[in-house]
Structure 1
Amino acid sequence: MSSDSAPIQLRSRAEALAARLPPLLVAAQHLAQSVELGEHGRRQSGHGEAFWQYRRAQPGDPSHRIDWRRSARSDRHYVQEKEWQAAHSVQIWVDPSASLAFSSDPKLPEKRKQAQVIALALASLLLSGGERVGLLGSALKPGRGQLTLSRMADQLLRADAPLRDVFAVPRARQVVFSDFLGPLDATRDFLHAARGRGQRGVLFQVLDPMEEAFPFHGRVLFQDVGGALRHDTREAGDLRDRYLDRLARRKAELSEIAKRAGWRFHSYHTQDPASAALLWLWNAIGGPR
């Protein structure tokens, strides 16, 4: 690549990336609005309603949350936080592996895109509730406000950090999106470290319905998305029972390692409503604790 062509190609790549960003954000925010739980997702009575502390207002805080009486004594704006409003950090990771770049039907979303939309919709709900949200594998700390959501969307389209290389913020909760069809060594190591840090989270499996049903018969050439693995069989139906047994054992293993770490596991299929997946995630990671 010549020095003259490098800026042109870089600009072209940047423009292509920017063109993908608005639809992703729009889809995520539309999904979040479909399951909007009110102004504060953590609204609840009883323990935790008492005043906890003041903090400086930050970009993204709605004006009606500003305590004007406290702010009048200073040249800064302050927000009165109650115990149930205290912000916690949530970090999200979407597997960049090639296996997620798959859809068995043009009418179905690609696994990675669906994971990205659900991840950003969850972030939108959490940010609306006053949480700090960020991405595992990102240099940026979890933050608040609409700018945080836009940055997350941009980073999701670029993300390529494997789970073994990401840094988890102390005391943050994590949501890990993957199909979990490959080796689980990195997942086990990550959950072991999270357990040692006292962190909780969710393993969220995203599968295409074909990967769950194995609807193959006769001669079939199986090939992974990257093209590295190939298997040619004359009678694919003979493999169905073995495949389904291995998939069931994989899910049971994921559920068990999540349980040992104090995490939760959920399997989702891309033909199912994304709103149901988001609501499950909200209750698992973002709902009242």
Structure 2
Amino acid sequence: MITPAQLRADAGQLAAGFPALLARAQHLVASLNIGSHGRKRAGVGDEFWQYRPAISGDSRSAIDWRRSARTDAQFIRQMEWQSAQTVHFWVDSGASMDFSSDVNLETKSSRATVLALALAILLSRAGERVGLLSDPRPAKSGESQIQKIAQTLANIGDKDDYAYPPQKALPNGSRAILISDFMGEWEPLVQAISKTADQNVSGCLVQVLDPSELSFPFKGRVIFESMKSSLNFETLRANSLRDEYIQKLAERQDALRSLARKSGWRYYTHNTDSAVQSAFLWLYNATEQGAAR
């Protein structure tokens, strides 16, 4: 079993290779008074406001050297203050995520968990509030919140074969990152995702699959059994099922892609024999760029 410390160490190592990320899609400009237009303030944001003279204690990395070169003084480039973004994660806790077709491959659950926690670390470092859909407590930023998320993800209890995103009231304009194999029954999945998106929440669907689930390399006599043994099927000619399986998988992926598009979300497929950095980079870009156009 992965310990919270090991999980966080793996995710932290992955996150260290990328710059801190601001969730830009739906920043809300803060208002000092209800009903009035927000006044500009210095803070975390991506809109330039003004230059100010550098003072003792300012980091050298914060100095705008091009502006400072015009005079003998040093200047700091200040950005307009913007409200922090809230991002909730759901990592599928179903037993189907514990599958791996090779002892040298990590499980889908392990890959999904590290991806979610790595992005949570980046967002939290940038001042964003992060949380889990399965946690009734509000999303927060900071080191203690990351530890709580790691603890929760590392201690998922007894599971059914398939799980579905839980319902939680989310802040208007926030985001949700759902990571799963999305192999469960279709209707409960659609209802769960649609109810989340209907709260004016943008997000991403990240489908994590084992390479055998993409290629169906089975031949001859095979007994297919779900991780909890609730489903099983025996065939003497597994290779004869390949074309039908590949077609069904393509239909499920097309349906997920369509569901994401209709909800203004983004969809991505990642397999566990690919470099984890590829999926993390996609999540980085997806979170930065916002909903698919």
The structure with the greater share of residues assigned to helix is: 1
Q: What are the equivalent positions in structure 2 for 1:123-162 lying under 5 Å apart?
A: 123-159=120-156, 162=163
TM-score (norm 1): 0.77
Q: Does 1:212 align with 2:214?
A: yes
The DSSP-based 3-state class of the residue aligned with 1:91 is strand
8 Å Cα contact 2:222-2:235 kept in structure 1: yes
Once the 2 structures are TM-superposed, how far is the Cα of residue 159 of structure 1 from its aligned partner? 4.3
8 Å Cα contact 2:23-2:128 kept in structure 1: no
Once the 2 structures are TM-superposed, how far is the Cα of residue 164 of structure 1 from its aligned partner? 5.1
Point out where structure 1 has 5 or more consecutive residues left out of the alignment: 1-16, 56-62, 66-80
8 Å Cα contact 1:122-1:282 kept in structure 2: yes
Most deviating of 122-131 and 183-192: 183-192
Match of 1:269 among 268, 271, 277: 271
Match of 2:203 among 201, 204, 229: 201
Q: Relative to 1, partners in 2 of residues 1:122 and 1:51: Cα closer, same or farther, differing over 3 Å?
A: farther
- Distance in 1, matches of 2:82 and 2:290, equals 10
Match of 1:24 among 2, 7, 10: 7
What corresponds to 2:71 in structure 1? none
Once the 2 structures are TM-superposed, how far is the Cα of residue 41 of structure 1 from its aligned partner? 4.5
Once the 2 structures are TM-superposed, how far is the Cα of residue 52 of structure 1 from its aligned partner? 3.6
Once the 2 structures are TM-superposed, how far is the Cα of residue 247 of structure 1 from its aligned partner? 0.2
Aligned CA RMSD, in angstroms, stands at 2.7
- Distance in 2, matches of 1:40 and 1:243, equals 39
Q: What are the equivalent positions in structure 2 for 1:1-289 lying under 5 Å apart?
A: 20-34=3-17, 36-37=18-19, 39=20, 41=22, 52-53=40-41, 82-83=79-80, 85-159=82-156, 162-163=163-164, 165-171=166-172, 172-287=174-289
* Matched-pair identity in %: 35
Q: What letter matches 2:242 in structure 1? A: R
8 Å Cα contact 2:42-2:81 kept in structure 1: no
What corresponds to 2:68 in structure 1? none
8 Å Cα contact 2:88-2:130 kept in structure 1: yes
Q: How many residues align?
A: 244
The DSSP-based 3-state class of the residue aligned with 2:280 is helix
Q: Relative to 1, partners in 2 of residues 1:287 and 1:121: Cα closer, same or farther, differing over 3 Å?
A: farther
- Distance in 2, matches of 1:139 and 1:147, equals 16
8 Å Cα contact 2:133-2:167 kept in structure 1: yes
Q: What letter matches 1:227 in structure 2? A: S
Once the 2 structures are TM-superposed, how far is the Cα of residue 262 of structure 1 from its aligned partner? 0.7
- Distance in 1, matches of 2:23 and 2:151, equals 27
TM-score (norm 2): 0.76
Most deviating of 230-239 and 180-189: 180-189
Q: Which runs of 4+ in 1 moved over 6 A?
A: none
Q: Relative to 1, partners in 2 of residues 1:283 and 1:51: Cα closer, same or farther, differing over 3 Å?
A: farther
- Distance in 2, matches of 1:175 and 1:91, equals 6
Once the 2 structures are TM-superposed, how far is the Cα of residue 283 of structure 1 from its aligned partner? 1.1
8 Å Cα contact 1:90-1:142 kept in structure 2: yes
The DSSP-based 3-state class of the residue aligned with 2:93 is coil
